[in-house]
Structure 1
Amino acid sequence: MSNNPIPIVDFAPFLDGSAKQQTADQLLGSFKSYGFLYLTNFGISNEEVQEMFDLSKRFFALPHESKMLAPYPEARTHHRGYSFPGREKLPDAGDVAEMPLPSVKETFDIGREDDDSMLNVWPPDHILPGFKELCLAFYWKCHEVEKNILRALALGFGLEEEWLVRHHRMPDNNLRLQHYPSIPLESVLTKKVARISNHTDYASLTVLFQDNVGGLEAEDPNEPGRYLAVSPIPNSVVVNAADFLRRWSNDVIRSPMHGVRAPQDMVTEDGMLPDRYSIPYFCAADFSTVVDTIPGTWSADYPKKYEPMSVGKYMLKRLADGY
């Protein structure tokens, strides 16, 4: 990891108040330069994270017919419940002439329970007792992490600490359990399938928990087309900025291209990539709001690039494009 330039930010001095502005400046600087960072001491214990990975593995180990008792709705904008491998397709941004590759992963998506516009879809309780309760508890723990990151970003921009949090009150977020089944390395190298093709995320930011298999890569801002390994670091979480936050910040913040490739050092003797698990938490501003450019990110010399935009309108279009 010594050659990895992606910043590592210790969040403890922000959370305990000992160096809030310094940490905020470091976090915003990381978003400006790379759009990616590792966050340590972020407020969720290693035991709680491991409990969620264990739960995720138990869910994806269920028979297909059991998982399909909580099926993804047919509506492309309703991202809840179980989605089987190959359903999600993302274009390979590295070659726009290519057709979208099937994404060989299965997912389970969770939102807040009081969202009448996008209801959760749960398996029957007897299928995996405690699944719903543990998922929702982790969802709200991630929301606390999100709010603290937003507070730090606001301070970095020179704004009042709650400025960004006030636009993320609902919260219209998505917790996703992901499983990448073991597949032949050859099928990825020949572009028959992808784990996840290169893409950018849609909303404000993404908080990503990953196992030790690796494969996540982000585009090098100093050398377009070259990708940096975002390898797992113990006791950390990966945070990346997304497209709406880039737009909202008048392109001050980067929304980096990234994808999941084939880590060659993890390939088994028979040429198979091992199973991989990750848990992203996608954070969005309230769908009901219309946002304008963040104060301080524009001036007479650097004018606004974007008109005010409805969060809901933007997000639902992007969600539909992936299915």
Structure 2
Amino acid sequence: MAQQVKVGDVNGIPIISLAAFIDASNKQAVADAMLESFKTIGFVYLVDHGLPKEKIDGMFDWSKRFFALPMETKMLAPHPPSGTHHRGYSPPGKEKVVQHIYDEKELAKVRSKAPDVKESFEVGREQDAAMTNIWLPDGVFPGFKEACLDFFWACREVELTLLRALSLGLHLEEDFLEKVHTAPDNQLRLLHYPSVRVDQLEKDEVARIGAHSDFGSITMLMQDDVGGLEVENPHNPGEFSPATPVEGAIIVNAGDFLMRWSNDMIKSTIHRVRAPSNKNKDGMTPERYSIPYFCSADYSRTVDCLPGTFSEKNPKKYEPISSGQYIMSRLAATY
């Protein structure tokens, strides 16, 4: 009996089981369902994804313990002043997520608004000479570095599965996208949103993460049970719906680079983090933890529109561009 592929939805975002892809019993059905979700809303919940629950729970435990350290300890691994070197610790209010703004005056105006009230720690692969990791000194928080790197590579295995599924969904060779994601030029980010006043969020006096889209190919998101993530309706800009946590699911969304790469066939959808609607207490939001894993094509790789995404009636909208050139220009604007 064929396994069920779509097992539900949350506010229009499908919940898809990867089981039939992983065990090869119905790869194409899973691939088609994933691509369809990316084409319509740009987001999908994935269950049976192969990343063990105990490993995810363990990383959340490390994250909570890290952010509970004194500020002076966390600042022993400081994020560099440059926005293009996304590694190490960033304290609350340091980063302001912005959208596609290339006018310097407009960018300064946006940056002057309410900062994002969150703190983060960012990790990449150890062998990345262009963007080295920044760790706490040896002995300060034993085991943290090893846990982060172990989780980075566990997420990498899931990424490869998703790239193979997307390739099949696009009716390309199964390893087509994998071949241009070999480095991996990825970023694991631990996020902590401290408790803030709901009225300050509603008045835009503070922000958790403002409305934005992601830069790269795909983002895998693990979130706690607090909620607060909201996804914009691509067909009705300005209308946001909660992407409520689903037990055991990873939320995956397409990034801007994949949208450009697919000649806009795939949607990179605007999303934000606000106050969860049903868990606020005494006018305060609960604190929130999440772990996104941002996946990018090899920075050295120049890509053109994917085969099958353009035609005489639907010509290419974009010039070839390198992943690194694109990502770095976007990263620099956020810091």
TM-score by length of 1: 0.96
Q: How does 1:1-323 map to 2 (within 5 A)?
A: 4-91=11-98, 99-268=112-281, 270-323=282-335
SS at match of 1:239: strand
CA contact (8 A) 2:9 2:15 kept: no
CA contact (8 A) 1:92 1:100 kept: no
- Change in Cα spacing, 1:61 to 1:316, as seen in structure 2 (3 Å) is same
CA distance in 1, matches of 2:263, 2:27: 24
CA distance in 1, matches of 2:10, 2:224: 20
Comparing 152-161 with 120-129, greater Cα deviation is found at: 120-129
1:221 CA drift (Å): 2.3
1:272-311 CA-to-partner distances (Å, cap 9, x unmatched) read: 1111000000000000010010000001111110010011
SS at match of 2:278: helix
**Partner amino acid, structure 1, of 2:165:** A
CA contact (8 A) 2:10 2:244 kept: no
Aligned residues: 321
Give the gaps of 5 or more residues in structure 1: none
SS at match of 1:82: strand
CA contact (8 A) 2:180 2:301 kept: yes
1:124 CA drift (Å): 1.9
1:3 CA drift (Å): 6.1
Q: RMSD of aligned C-alpha atoms? A: 1.6
1:265 CA drift (Å): 1.1
**Partner amino acid, structure 1, of 2:309:** T
- Change in Cα spacing, 1:152 to 1:13, as seen in structure 2 (3 Å) is same
**Partner amino acid, structure 1, of 2:149:** L
CA contact (8 A) 2:98 2:333 kept: no
Identity percentage over the alignment?
Answer: 54
CA distance in 2, matches of 1:284, 1:317: 14
1:135-161 CA-to-partner distances (Å, cap 9, x unmatched) read: 000000111111110100000111000
CA distance in 1, matches of 2:309, 2:11: 29
TM-score by length of 2: 0.93
CA distance in 1, matches of 2:86, 2:19: 33
- The runs of 4+ residues in structure 1 deviating greater than 3 Å are 95-100
Report the counterpart of residue 103 of structure 2 in structure 1: none
CA distance in 2, matches of 1:180, 1:127: 23
1:156-177 CA-to-partner distances (Å, cap 9, x unmatched) read: 1110000000000000000000
1:264 CA drift (Å): 2.6
SS at match of 1:285: coil
CA distance in 2, matches of 1:181, 1:150: 34
1:5-32 CA-to-partner distances (Å, cap 9, x unmatched) read: 1111100100000000010000000000
1:100 CA drift (Å): 4.0
CA distance in 1, matches of 2:315, 2:70: 55
CA contact (8 A) 1:92 1:197 kept: no
Give the gaps of 5 or more residues in structure 2: 1-7, 101-105
1:2 CA drift (Å): 6.6
1:92 CA drift (Å): 7.3
CA contact (8 A) 2:192 2:287 kept: yes
SS at match of 1:128: coil
